[in-house]
Amino acid sequence: MKRRAPRRDGPPAKSLRLPPASLTDPARAGRFVHRLIATTLAHLKKDGRARVYSGAGVRDLARLFGGPLPERGRPVPRVLAEFRDRILRHSLQTSHRRIFGLLHPIPLPVAAAAETAAALLNQSTDAWKAGPAATQVEVRLVRWLNDRIGYGPQAFGVFTSGGGVANLLALKMARDRAIGGRARRQGIPRRLAGRLRVYASAQSHFSIPRAVDLVGLGTDSLVLVPVDRDMKMIPDRLDEMVRRDRRRGLVPVAVVATAGTTSTGNIDPIRAIAAVARRHGMHHHVDAAYGGAVIVSDRHRGLLRGLETADSVTIDPHKWLFQPISLGGLFVRDGRALAAAFRTEPDYLRKDLEREAGRLDFYHYSLEGSRPFRGLKLWLTIQAIGTEGLASLVDRTMVLASALVRKVERRPAFERYPAAVETTTCCVRFLPRWARRLSPRARRTPAIRRRLDRLQLHIQHTLETTGYAWFPPTVLQGTVWLRLGIFNYLTTPTDIEAVLDRIERVGSSGG
Ligand X SMILES: Cc1ncc(COP(=O)(O)O)c(C=O)c1O
Q: Which amino acid is at 188?
A: I
Piece in contact with ligand X (CB under 6 A), picked from 177-185, 270-278, 283-291, 391-399: 283-291
Contact letters for ligand X, residues 236-275 (x by CB under 6 A): ----------------------x-x-x-------------
Among 146, 207, 366, 381, binds ligand X (CB under 6 A): 207
* CA dist list (Å): 500 to 55, 92, 494: 20, 20, 10
**Least Å from the CB of residue 185 to ligand X:** 29
Q: Which is nearer to ligand X, 103 or 480 (CB)?
A: 103
Among 47, 176, 316, 495, binds ligand X (CB under 6 A): 316
Supply the Cα-derived Rg of the chain in whole angstroms: 26
Asked if 324 interacts with ligand X (CB under 6 A), we say no
Among 175, 205, 232, 429, binds ligand X (CB under 6 A): 205
Are 60 and 16 within 8 A, CB to CB? no
Q: Which residues pair with 479 in a beta bridge?
A: 476
Asked if 159 interacts with ligand X (CB under 6 A), we say no
Among 128, 290, 373, 414, binds ligand X (CB under 6 A): 290
Asked if 171 interacts with ligand X (CB under 6 A), we say no
Are 422 and 265 within 8 A, CB to CB? yes
DSSP one-letter code for 1: -
Are 331 and 142 within 8 A, CB to CB? yes
Q: Which is nearer to ligand X, 205 or 371 (CB)?
A: 205
**Least Å from the CB of residue 290 to ligand X:** 5
Asked if 422 interacts with ligand X (CB under 6 A), we say no
Coil, strand or helix at 233 = strand
Cβ burial, residue 285 (10 Å; 0-12/13-18/19+)? buried
Q: Which is nearer to ligand X, 316 or 415 (CB)?
A: 316
Q: How far is the C-alpha of 242 from the C-alpha of 238, rounded, in Å?
A: 6
Piece in contact with ligand X (CB under 6 A), picked from 54-62, 145-153, 191-199, 284-292: 284-292
Cβ burial, residue 344 (10 Å; 0-12/13-18/19+)? exposed
Asked if 103 interacts with ligand X (CB under 6 A), we say yes
Coil, strand or helix at 314 = strand
Asked if 317 interacts with ligand X (CB under 6 A), we say no
**Least Å from the CB of residue 222 to ligand X:** 15
Asked if 423 interacts with ligand X (CB under 6 A), we say no
Q: How far is the C-alpha of 330 from the C-alpha of 365, rounded, in Å?
A: 10
Asked if 289 interacts with ligand X (CB under 6 A), we say yes
Say how many residues touch ligand X, by CB under 6 A. Answer: 14
Asked if 163 interacts with ligand X (CB under 6 A), we say yes
Q: Which is nearer to ligand X, 205 or 300 (CB)?
A: 205
**Residue 330: which of 508, 106, 164, 105 has the closest Cα?**
164
Are 315 and 289 within 8 A, CB to CB? yes
* CA dist list (Å): 106 to 79, 389, 430, 461: 24, 16, 27, 22
**Residue 460: which of 475, 478, 449 has the closest Cα?**
475
Long-range contacts of 438-443 (CB under 8 A, 24+ apart): 440/415
Coil, strand or helix at 236 = helix
Asked if 115 interacts with ligand X (CB under 6 A), we say no
**Least Å from the CB of residue 219 to ligand X:** 16
**Least Å from the CB of residue 283 to ligand X:** 17
Site for ligand X in 12-41 (CB under 6 A): none
Q: Which is nearer to ligand X, 209 or 335 (CB)?
A: 209
Asked if 292 interacts with ligand X (CB under 6 A), we say no
Among 162, 306, 329, 372, binds ligand X (CB under 6 A): 162
**Least Å from the CB of residue 475 to ligand X:** 15
Site for ligand X in 480-499 (CB under 6 A): none
Piece in contact with ligand X (CB under 6 A), picked from 20-28, 139-147, 157-165, 341-349: 157-165
Q: How far is the C-alpha of 384 from the C-alpha of 153, rounded, in Å?
A: 27
Piece in contact with ligand X (CB under 6 A), picked from 78-86, 158-166, 336-344, 450-458: 158-166
Q: Which residues pair with 328 in a beta bridge?
A: 160
Q: Which is nearer to ligand X, 209 or 260 (CB)?
A: 260
Asked if 197 interacts with ligand X (CB under 6 A), we say no
Asked if 328 interacts with ligand X (CB under 6 A), we say yes
Among 164, 235, 324, 335, binds ligand X (CB under 6 A): 164
**Least Å from the CB of residue 489 to ligand X:** 18
Q: Which is nearer to ligand X, 51 or 483 (CB)?
A: 483
Q: Which residue is nearest to ligand X (CB)?
A: 162
**Least Å from the CB of residue 396 to ligand X:** 21
Asked if 459 interacts with ligand X (CB under 6 A), we say no
**Helix (H), strand (E), coil (C) string for 410-455:** HCCCEEECCCCCCCCEEEEEECCHHHHCCCHHHHCCHHHHHHHHHH
**Largest Cα–Cα separation, the chain:** 93
Strands in 425-430's sheet, in edge-to-edge order, are 414-416, 425-430, 479-485, 473-476
User: Given the DSSP bridges, would you call strands 312-315 and 283-288 parallel, antiparallel or unpaired?
Assistant: parallel
Query: Which positions touch ligand X (CB under 6 A)?
Result: 103, 162-164, 205, 207, 258, 260, 262, 287, 289-290, 316, 328
